[in-house]
Amino acid sequence: MCLIVFAWRPGHAQPLIVAANRDEFYARPSLPLAQWPESPHVHAGRDLEAGGTWLGVGANGRFAALTNIRDPHQPPARKSRGELVARFINGDMPIDDYLTDVVGRSVEYAGFNLLAGNNHELWHFNSRETEAVMLQPGVYGLSNAGLDTPWPKLLKARAALEVVLNDPQPEALLALLNDSQTAAFAELPDTGVGLATETLLSSVFIASPTYGTRASTALIVQADGTRVMVERSFGPYGGHLGEVEVKV
């Protein structure tokens, strides 16, 4: 994922609300949100190049999602970051133990942010830090830097999420993810990729001939642990490819 906005509200009728865009090269093969045949308790998309995923849910309320840290100068990674999400939602290791393991092996991956949680707690780990943090209730955003780094797209999407939290429906969450307006030059971060690319990547929804938003996902978790996920898939220039809804 390249943008995740979420509300963590333990004790609420809907304790977790997530709206997330996965940005990737269109040529990278992947499968949309589905139940994994070899792990029926897992529901997620799948990266066919490396086998992992960017966002998904598992048994016992497990949820995980990932964003990359944008750094054109970081060395090549030995492992795919998508396995961090896949291992968590497909496993049963306690969250703190799992994240302790991830922290110890984070140098094996290119820079990343990892969200991991269940019905009772939600954690965040940024691979540039030394430890994971249990999140307090609140509304948060992740893009390709640290938690709540105030990039224009993050601020816009997080504010839009706050507007719909009284009645968070999948359609409203997907609508806020569909904003293709780029930021003004003066508001752009400088991550070392050049002005043209910074501009392209500054919108909530990215569309181009070769790279852009491949999937938009809305996740609503109920207090009883039931979950609704809706994912829309896109191709070059933002062309709509399909929609999947899962209730588990």
**Residue 218 · residue 18 · CB < 8 Å:** yes
- Residue 75: pLDDT above 90? no
Average pLDDT of the residues in 7-12: 96
The pTM for the full model equals: 0.95
Average pLDDT over all residues of the chain: 96
Residue 34, CA distances (Å) to 55, 61, 82, 230, 244 in order = 11, 17, 16, 10, 8
The confidence score (pLDDT) of residue 74 equals 87
- Residue 1: pLDDT above 70? no
Residue ranges of domains in the chain, CATH in brackets:
3-247 (3.60.60.10)
The confidence score (pLDDT) of residue 109 equals 94
pLDDT digit string, tens, across residues 13-31: 999 999 999 999 999 999 9
Binned at pLDDT 50, 70 and 90, residue 9 comes out as: very high
pLDDT digit string, tens, across residues 182-223: 999 999 999 999 999 999 999 999 999 999 999 999 999 999
**What does the block give as tokens for 166?**
């009284």
**Terminal Cα distance for the chain, rounded:** 22
